[in-house]
Amino acid sequence: MVKSTQAIALKYAHFIDAAYHVKEQSPSQEQYPFFPPGFTLVYNIHRKDTGKGRTGLAYSGFLARSNFSPDAPTTYVLALRGSAEFLDWAERLDILPSPSPFGNNSGNVVSGFLDMYNGMTFSEPGQTKPKGLLKYIRYSIHYTNMQSEDDTQPMVCTGHGLGAAMATLFAVGDAYTLHPCRLYTFGSPCVGDAAFVSFHNSLITTSERYYNLPDLIPTLLDAFGYDHVHNGIPLDSLGDASLGWLPDCTHSLRTYMYMLGAANTVLSENCLISDIDDDVMIKKLSFRRRY
């Protein structure tokens, strides 16, 4: 059962990984270095890019639709990647609480995340002009054509790091207005307070939040009164002596994919320790004791 659950999570991690390999602002499907087989690109997703003096829009992910098959229902997958640079977004994040816009008793969310989410847009493949705001994307697709195995959750929302926070906000907003999506996140920071978490947990029935124990991002905001949504599923990269222990490696989506069952070929060279010596092991064991 655990292996089956992890296999599903790994499947959707591959969608996010495809987004990480995009360099264009609004690519066509053919411009993706690789795109999940059996799916068609519907929209590209963008967020405001204000980091280090930049302005404008930055590519953030995509919405894909499964190809028609008489033997399988139609589903949509919203995949959102994190920032290109580790902790780039955290340097300017407004951590003050803002009232959640998703309904009564929905608590507070991190102001910076809500501002980012409200400014996110989607566009036609190959087009840079926004078609609309991400939070209204469901109204631009044919909801009646969407189904899933249980016929109630026709959409999957998945994200990594900052993208995980955005996917969580979208999932809650979408569930409040229409129907809940299935949520799979990796290395997500806290998004809201206890009331928001309770609101989320009451709406989203399929929610798997994977976190690597030494990953700094999931613990970044819990000291400020924020909490995590369910269901937290721990992983531990420090249990594998061949994996790097530095922050950008412990947070890397590829590290999460490897721990979920992907081959070690997914790991970048700087996150794979080829020669294990005593010095490396002492550092890893010391790091592990602190977490």
Q: Could you report the per-residue pLDDT of 89-116, keeping only the tens digit for each?
A: 887 889 999 999 998 889 999 999 999 9
What are 63-91's pLDDT values in tens digits? 999 987 766 667 899 999 998 776 778 87
Angle between helices 162-177 and 194-203 (to 10 degrees): 60
- pLDDT band of 152, cuts 50, 70, 90: very low
Residue 98 pairs with which residues in a beta bridge? 109
**Three-class SS state of 210:** strand
What are 20-71's pLDDT values in tens digits? 999 888 999 999 999 999 999 999 999 987 655 556 789 999 999 998 776 6
pTM: 0.89
278, pLDDT greater than 60: no
Handedness of CA 93, 97, 103, 105 (dihedral sign): positive
Q: Rounded to an integer, what distance in angstroms lies between the CA atom of residue 217 and that of residue 83? A: 12
What is the arithmetic mean of pLDDT over 209-227?
94
The count of other CB atoms within 10 Å of the CB of residue 56 is 10
Residue-level pLDDT at 155: 86
Q: Rounded to an integer, what distance in angstroms lies between the CA atom of residue 136 and that of residue 141? A: 10
Structure tokens at 196: 């928001």
